[in-house]
A and B are shown apart, each in its own frame.
Chain A
Amino acid sequence: PCNSDAHMELTTEKPSSSARKEPPASSGPRPAASFSPSPAAAAPKSMEQLEEEEEAKDSFDVDVSVTNPEKVGQYLPPAPSLCWSQHETSLPMFRNKTFSVRRRFSDFLGLYEKMSVKSSLHGCVIPPPPEKSVMGMTKVKVGKDDPSSAEFLERRRAALERYLQRVVCHPLLLQDPDVREFLEKEELPRAVNTQALSGAGFLKMINKASDAVNKMTIKMNESDTWFEDKLQEVESEEQQLRKLHAVVDSLVNHRKELCGNTAVFAKSMAMLGNSEDNTALSRALSQLAEVEDKMEQLHQEQAASDFFIFAELLADYIRLLGAVRGCFDQRMRAWQRWQEAQSTLQKKREAEAKLLWANKPDKLQQAKEEITEWEAKVTQYERDFDRIGVTVRKEVLRFEEEKAKDFKGQIVKYLESMLQSQQRLIKFWEAFLPEAKAIA
């Protein structure tokens, strides 16, 4: 039983033409800073409900949503949250139409961990999970029932939902058995090795790997400039997004400030209205105070919109671009392996030549076997390298398509929220105007 009504549903259609639908307008109160925390006792453990529904349209259609967490039960260290969820699907690969599972936050991280080491998924852009936040989670566990911890929970819920959506949206990932297990299996064994993904984990990890690649002594002789150019593009875009994110962050803060100042101003106006001895003016000033109160509400909602629609979009893509960079690194490492195998093969051949000259027939046989072995490896690694190159190209193109649609969708959503806000503003002031005119 979910104790909040902010239930968001997002449908993802076929990956190649996916477009994010907006949550239904009737989905209850917005996940705003004014989210009211659970009335249940201040028990520290939170639950996350994972719901999946499937639409019959397409075999790739998976509806993923994560509903709001609930606080239940006793706190059992060490901590992550226990969750339970319901799923619905009619995908042929899944056993049931509708099902739900309980998942801990670390399970999500564990899923990423599993996917990121699979050779079959090498070169793929694997969506990164949201990061652990020690501070945020501690507050929640301690049972602080304040708006900031409610906001934190909502932020995490939304982030996990987007994460899962991106995963099921990817054709290869959806086929992956670990992903299916994640979606279906009753109990998952506890994920280990998620430490790397804690705190500022993910990007740190990516950057460390990048550094290792950069320290390579053998510089790659790139026959195809596409990769070099594309990587540069990605890096510069990441920079831009960071910059933009910083400004949007500042916007959120300023708007929250504006909220506070408007509320204070409204109260002051109300007091002034009380003091005023001209009746009609007094009334008008009181009305003005009420309008300003409404404006404060508007600002608050707008700030939530700024954050949840805009800022989080940027944050997601900063991480995603990091993941894209990771693919390029994987390709580099594949190339490295191939080169090293070639040089090993070369050494083996030289060794064989030496043996021939030294005339040691018994060792010769072994040397020939080793050469065959390494010739095979060289061929294999070259094929791997080519294959990963193809994958990376495909993935990057798919990613860019997704990104364009995602950005467009979110920005439209953002603009629409601003539009609504302005329309309400018009109503408020139009209601006030006759009051002002009535002053005599």
Chain B
Amino acid sequence: MTSALDESDKEKTRSVSVDLNNDASLLIDIPDALCERDKVKFTVHTKTTLSAFQKPEFSVPRQHEDFIWLHDTLVETEDYAGLIIPPAPPKPDFESPREKMHKLGEGEATMTKEEYNKMKQELEAEYLAVFKKTVQVHEIFLQRLSSHAILSKDRNFQIFLEYDQDLSVRRKNAKEMFGGFFKNMVKTADEVIISGIKEVDDFFEQEKTFLLDYYSKIKDSTAKAEKMTRSHKNVADDYIHISATLNTLSADDSTKVEGRVASDQELKLTELLRYYMRDIQAAKDLLYRRARALADYEHSNKALDKARLKSKDVPQAEEHQQQCLQKFDKLSESGKRELTSFKGRRVVAFRKNLIEMAELEIKHAKNNVTLLQGCIDLLKSN
């Protein structure tokens, strides 16, 4: 199924981040995507005034794995150690609506045609929502990159946007080279290393404490929000069954108990939380890398002392120590910048999302009120 998303659609769905596509020198969007069984093919469309690119406007087809490749190469680039790498978009997951479709098919015999059609409609809408969500998340990833002063100039990023052949060859090579080594290290050790380091800088000390705590809280909130949204969906589904059965029951009592509870506002909140959970993980990764650099620096100090004691290889040790110090300072400097701007970004995004959510709740409730009042009046007048 192909889905062309127009601008207004995207405006509505863009909730986790402020509008990133501001800089006209490099504009990226995903105007459409194709869903074939498990695989989603995104069309990445770029408009640019930069000379680094061969053409001013072009489109390429990309798969989810290509995005992951891009993310991983960025993470593994030493030069970017001091930056927060935008979190990779999650894999498209159509499991839930697909399972429901399956169940619906099995239960088709037990329900009326009308009920079946309604449920089918609901499921198709759910499917579409998942689809739109995944497109949006992939799009935002690219836009975060394009709006970043340093990352937007990355060569691999440009290849990703431009290269009109299949990227899968490159992806294989990359895997062989890095072998996921760095990723594994980050996953297992970061918490321990970050909390274990003796911090000299107040700013980083605070950030560390804050991020570690906030991460666990937001992870919890995300999970709880997901559960709540699922419950809400169940209630909405029940109402479909009820209204269908009521309609078949009494011809004169044409009650449309359409107490349809719209759960999109909750979906928004869940999405926001999930996105920032990943973003905070990315920030933690930055802290980790800096902590590693600090550890390296401390090691190099010790090595230097040793060398001086033994009066052996002192110049190399000194140079090594200098390099470590420089790396650490560079990381600290850029890290501070990144984390500060991250803070601001997060606050702005939350604000936008919470406002939208509240407004949606109010709008839907008002609609429900009108609908219910109409039903009541109709029934009373009969």
Contact = CB atoms under 8 A, between A and B. Distances in A.
Nearest to A272: B217
Contact of A251 (B218, B227, B239): B239
A265 B227 contact: yes
Interface stretch (B18-26, B100-108, B168-176, B250-258): B250-258
Given A248-B242, A258-B235, A436 B224 contact: no
B242 A258 contact: no
B97 interface: no
A378 B213 CA distance: 91
A100 to B, nearest CB: 35
Given A412-B376, A412-B379, A432 B358 contact: yes
A257 B230 CA distance: 10
Interface stretch (B76-84, B135-143, B349-357): B349-357
20 contacts: A244-B242, A247-B245, A254-B231, A257-B234, A258-B228, A258-B232, A264-B227, A265-B228, A271-B221, A285-B350, A415-B257, A415-B379, A419-B373, A425-B365, A426-B366, A429-B362, A433-B359, A436-B354, A436-B355, A440-B351
B286 interface: no
B369 A426 contact: yes
Size category of the binding interface on chain A: 35 or more
B227 A415 contact: no
Given A257-B234, A268-B220, A244 B228 contact: no
A261 B231 contact: yes
B31 interface: no
B382 interface: yes
B231 A257 contact: yes
B63 interface: no
Interface stretch (A119-127, A145-153, A273-281): A273-281
Contacts of A276: 214
B249 A250 contact: no
B218 to A, nearest CB: 6
B70 interface: no
A243 interface: yes
Size category of the binding interface on chain B: 35 or more
Contact of B376 (A241, A269, A419, A439): A419
Contact of B245 (A240, A269, A288): A240
A261 B365 contact: no
A411 interface: yes
Nearest to B235: A254
Contacts of B365: 422-423, 425-426, 429
A251 B239 CA distance: 8
Contact of A416 (B257, B347, B376, B382): B376
Interface of B: 210, 213-214, 217-218, 220-221, 224-225, 227-228, 230-232, 234-235, 238-239, 241-242, 245-246, 248-250, 252-253, 255, 257, 259, 343, 347, 350-351, 354-355, 357-359, 361-362, 365-366, 368-369, 372-373, 375-376, 379-380, 382
Given A416-B376, A436-B355, A268 B221 contact: yes
A255 B235 contact: yes
Contacts of A425: 361, 365
B257 A433 contact: no
A265 B221 contact: yes
Contacts of B224: 261, 264-265, 268
A399 interface: no
Contacts of A247: 238, 241-242, 245
A212 B230 CA distance: 48
Contacts of A432: 358
Given A251-B235, A254-B234, A407-B253, A415 B214 contact: no
What 10 A-B pairs are tightest by C-beta distance, nearest first?
A258-B231, A439-B351, A436-B354, A251-B238, A265-B224, A254-B234, A261-B228, A429-B361, A419-B372, A268-B221
Contacts of B221: 265, 268-269, 271-272
B228 A411 contact: no
A408 interface: yes
Given A250-B241, A439-B354, 12 more contacts: A258-B228, A268-B224, A271-B221, A272-B220, A408-B253, A408-B382, A411-B255, A422-B372, A426-B369, A429-B362, A436-B354, A440-B347
A418 interface: yes
A315 to B, nearest CB: 15
A271 B376 contact: no
Contacts of B245: 240, 243-244, 247
A269 B354 CA distance: 13
Given A275-B217, A412-B380, A284 B361 contact: no
Nearest to A257: B231
A388 to B, nearest CB: 28
B347 A439 contact: yes
Nearest to B237: A254
